[in-house]
Structure 1
Amino acid sequence: MSSIESEILNCTGAKAIHDTTQVQTLWSGYGTIKCYYLEGGKHSSVIVKHIELPKSDNHPRGWNTDLSHQRKVKSYAIESNWYKHYASLTNPNCKVPQLLYEEAGENTRLLIMEDLNALGFPIRRTPQTVSLLAAKNCLSWLAHFHAVFMKVSPKGLWKKGTYWYLDTRPDELAKMTNKPLQNVAPEIDKKLNEAKFQSLVHGDAKLANFCFGSENQVAAVDFQYVGKGCGIKDVAYFISSCFEEEACEQFEGELLDHYFKSLEEAMGNTIEFQEVKEEWTSLYKFAWADLYRFLDGWSTGHWKMHGYSEKLTQAVIEELDSE
């Protein structure tokens, strides 16, 4: 029996492991996520995220730099802190898997967590299969998450959440082809970072990181880039992961209205909520422009760089140039 299997049995009280399946390999070969099926004990199955730092980088887009490596190493430590100290603060309206066991070595890290499939969230959606209702439920999840962690200090997390934020992406900034956007990138970053209302942001709130139940109830995974930020960054990024140009344009108002109604439900109809809504609504286009800035340097021609995102980005450039 391996040490991982021993820890699984110890932390779950299960009598035996009767099967194992690989869920996925981690980005750039940094380890695996597996599901272990158990006999006896409280849990019928658990998810094990086993990080093993590679001897050589193999990034699919060629970003094999020490900066990239260190960012990923830090992200796994932050994810562990999230599950240890913050995950238990969530509620059923922003469901996440709870941590059962954590261990860190010099070049390895082990997380044993609840299996969301076993808890009633076995369905995954793609942009081709997601309904407007399912997308709205994800936005409700984000709203309740942002409300729970409004003004919470990001101790042990990223001081600035999201994986694409400017300070950690100098290589991509230097490679940008959109020079007007490159010139105002620091100002966009400043606008978002100096927003009066800051919460914790998921930081990688794409459709692929949400798990669905049979009635489109939602839970979320993957907290490597959780940290301080204004929640509208999660909102813009989620919408970008779900919908192509025409749908982004068509459903913009409906999706934002739904998000803010969910945030109001979570925060209460207070003066503070109205201030949050006003500020974050005004920053929606800045969140899109910030993402567009990253994509322009990371993967020019990416499918998210469509007319809708370009239009919002151009509006931001013109607004900042006129100030």
Structure 2
Amino acid sequence: MNSNFKTYILKATTASDCKELEVIQSLWSGYGEIVRYSLEGSAYVTAVVKHIDLRAEGKHPRGWDTDISHQRKVKSYEVETYWYEYWSAKCSADCKVPKYLGGYAEKEQQWIILEDLDIDYPLRKQELTLMEVRACLKWLAHFHGRFMNFEPTGLWEVGTYWHLATRPDEWELIEHKQLKDAASRIDEVLNKANYQTIVHGDAKLANFCFSEDGKVAAVDFQYVGGGCGMKDVAYFLGSCMSGDECEMYEKELLDCYFRELRIAVSPSIDFDALEQEWKGLYRVACTDFMRFLLGWMPTHQKINDYNLKMVKEVLSKL
């Protein structure tokens, strides 16, 4: 353990001592690791530390080791640090995130110290029941409602890790000519929606934590930023449901999301106008993500008949 970091974490958590308990996971492309620490003499029994080491050369599992990729990662960690320090405390209990306990930086390394969600949200899921899907949609709705019309100061101007402007290499490799040609138009439609919020940006199933009584929290805010909330919803549903399930439950689950969003937004928002606009953008958001996948991994299992049918429909209406 870096001695300067140890001094800092003891001060930040008012602990008398700390010990590394386990490495929870390595960061994508080898940029560090997430570690659980035990704390003695602190109000926190444990804490989770995201240790980012930019000295390491990123090794992408699919070979996307470019300068663009590296710079995107560097910015993503800057954004995540800013999110936890200046934004995370604004979240309500209905869009629970880890409490920020402190942050330390030294040359090309940084450490983000966070509340350990395992205490109250110990469950991780590989697949979800419909009730659990609804719980995650509730989290997203309250997150989007909380930050409706906020400027993404210090975050990505346009959130999500697949945003077109940050993915020129993947765009170049798209073989679907009509979609490739329409990519900038699709991006523009989403970016110019009248109703904008802060999006999580990587709202996949793996980034949700569950309590024993069905509550939900979310982690991993590297790609948090401005955008239409349908981007998060489209990506989340695709991450935890098959194409057939998405097609079968699309209306029911969107209705669930918008019921919660109505509760979450400020009364000053014209909710009927918001709902009408965003429902019309759901399939556009799905198509935007397909644009990324078709360049990044054209054999991906999420490129299914349901999604390709949506792509065709959206392209026909542009």
Task: Check whether TM > 0.5.
Answer: yes
* Matched-pair identity in %: 48
Q: Structure 2: how far apart are the matches of 1:15 and 1:54?
A: 30
* 1:125 maps onto 2:103 in alignment: no
Which deviates the most, 216-225 or 32-41? 32-41
Q: Deviations over 1:188-237 (max 9, x none)?
A: 00100000000000000101000000022000000000000010100000
- 1:171-182 matches, within 5 Å, as 171-182=169-180
Q: Structure 2: how far apart are the matches of 1:59 and 1:122?
A: 29
* 1:60 maps onto 2:47 in alignment: no
How far off is 1:303 after superposition?
1.1
The answer as to whether partners of 1:161 and 1:225 remain within 8 angstroms in 2 is: yes
* 1:111 maps onto 2:112 in alignment: yes
Consecutive aligned runs of 4 or more in structure 1 exceeding 4 Å deviation: 268-271
Q: Structure 1: how far apart are the matches of 2:6 and 2:168?
A: 41
For structure 1, which runs of at least 5 residues remain unmatched after alignment? none
* 1:46 maps onto 2:44 in alignment: no
How far off is 1:136 after superposition?
0.7
Which deviates the most, 101-110 or 278-287? 101-110
The answer as to whether partners of 2:30 and 2:57 remain within 8 angstroms in 1 is: no
How far off is 1:19 after superposition?
4.9
Give the corresponding residue for 1:6.
7
The answer as to whether partners of 2:140 and 2:232 remain within 8 angstroms in 1 is: yes
- State the SS of the aligned residue for 1:61: coil
Give the corresponding residue for 1:230.
228
Give the corresponding residue for 1:73.
74
Give the corresponding residue for 2:240.
242
- State the SS of the aligned residue for 2:251: helix
How far off is 1:269 after superposition?
6.7
Give the corresponding residue for 2:192.
194
- State the SS of the aligned residue for 2:154: coil
Q: Structure 2: how far apart are the matches of 1:56 and 1:94?
A: 34
How far off is 1:126 after superposition?
1.3
The answer as to whether partners of 2:89 and 2:99 remain within 8 angstroms in 1 is: yes
* 1:15 maps onto 2:13 in alignment: no
* 1:256 maps onto 2:257 in alignment: no
Q: Structure 1: how far apart are the matches of 2:58 and 2:19?
A: 34
Q: Deviations over 1:253-300 (max 9, x none)?
A: 111010000001112677611111100000001000000000000001
TM-score by length of 2: 0.97
The answer as to whether partners of 1:29 and 1:54 remain within 8 angstroms in 2 is: no
Q: Structure 1: how far apart are the matches of 2:163 and 2:261?
A: 24
How far off is 1:319 after superposition?
1.1
Q: Structure 2: how far apart are the matches of 1:248 and 1:138?
A: 15
Alignment-mate amino acid for residue 13 of structure 1: T
RMSD: 1.3
Q: Deviations over 1:114-167 (max 9, x none)?
A: 11112x10100113xx11111111110000000110011111110000010111
Alignment-mate amino acid for residue 262 of structure 2: E
Q: Structure 2: how far apart are the matches of 1:70 and 1:271?
A: 37
- State the SS of the aligned residue for 1:23: strand
Q: Deviations over 1:56-99 (max 9, x none)?
A: 33100110100000000000000011011100101100000111
How far off is 1:3 after superposition?
2.8
Q: 1:57 to 1:239 in 2, by over 3 A?
A: same
Q: Structure 2: how far apart are the matches of 1:180 and 1:186?
A: 12
Q: 1:268 to 1:81 in 2, by over 3 A?
A: closer
Q: Structure 2: how far apart are the matches of 1:158 and 1:220?
A: 18
Give the corresponding residue for 1:36.
37
Alignment-mate amino acid for residue 145 of structure 2: A
- State the SS of the aligned residue for 1:117: helix
Which deviates the most, 72-81 or 1-10? 1-10
